[in-house]
Amino acid sequence: MTLASHFSYWVTVLLLMVGLFIVMTRENLVKKLIGLGIFQTAVYLLYVAPGKLVGGVAPIIGGEFAVYSNPLPHVLILTAIVVGVATLALGLALVVRIKEAYGTIDEDEILLMDARDDTSPESEAKDG
């Protein structure tokens, strides 16, 4: 087990950690979503990389092909990419609405404004 033989795993773990770190430490809501995107993308690599064999081809039944790559992980990740896009789109849509309602996309400022709302009895409705 050398660094090179498990290269894709090392990259996967690195990207997972980078993504999670951004989600945890950034206060900007858009940057958090970027971190989440990196976190999800790392998983695509975890699935896709082991499916590829060196010298493997697409699974075509025929005399001249002997080594096949597994196509299933790719198909799975196609689905996961769709899910990831939907999540990111929804997250960004929420950020737009938050910006409209609060006037900021900084988490600390939003939490501060919420804390102020909690102390005053009448909290303002978001659309009135």
Partner 1 sequence: MLTQHFPALLVVVPLMAAPLIVFARRSLASWLIALLATAVTFGIAASLLAQTLSDGTISYAMGSWEAPLGIEYRIDAAGAFVAVIVAAMGLIVMPYSRVGIATEVRSEEHYLYYALMMLCLAGLLGILVTGDAFNLFVFLEVSSLATYVLIAMGRDRRALVAAYQYLLMGTIGATLYVIGVGLLYLETGTLNLADMTTRLVEVGDSRGVLAALAFITVGISLKIALFPLHLWLPNAYAYAPSPVSAFLAATATKVSIYVLMRYFFTIFGSTEVFDARATGTILLGLSLAAMFVPAVVAIFQHDMKRLLAYSSVSQIGYITLGISLDSVEGLMASAMHLFNHALTKGGLFLVLGGVVLRCGGAGFDRLAGLGQTMPVAAFAMVVGGLSLIGVPGTAGFISKWYLVSAAMHEGQWWLVGAVLASSLLAVIYVWRFVEVAYFRAPPADHPAPGEAPLSMLLPALAMIAGCVYFGIDATWSSEVAMRVAEVLMYNPGVGQ
- Residues forming contacts to partner 1 in the complex (CB under 8 A) are 16, 20, 23, 29, 32, 36, 39-40, 43, 46-47, 50, 73, 76, 79-80, 83, 86-87, 90-91, 94-95, 97-98, 101-102, 110, 114, 117, 121, 123-127
Beta bridge partners of 106: 28
Give the whole-angstrom CA distance, residue 43 versus residue 16.
Answer: 8
- Compute the least distance from the CB of residue 110 to partner 1, in Å: 6
Look at the alpha carbons of 104, 108, 113, 117 in this order and tell me if their dihedral is positive or negative: positive
Instruction: Rank residues 69 and 87 by Cβ distance to partner 1 and give the closer one.
Output: 87
Q: Are 41 and 12 in contact (CB under 8 A)?
A: no
Residues 6+ apart with CB under 8 A from 87: 36, 40
Q: Which is nearer to partner 1, 4 or 13 (CB)?
A: 13
**Measured from the CB of residue 58, what is the shortest distance to partner 1 in angstroms?**
18
Minimum distance from CB of 35 to partner 1 (Å)? 9
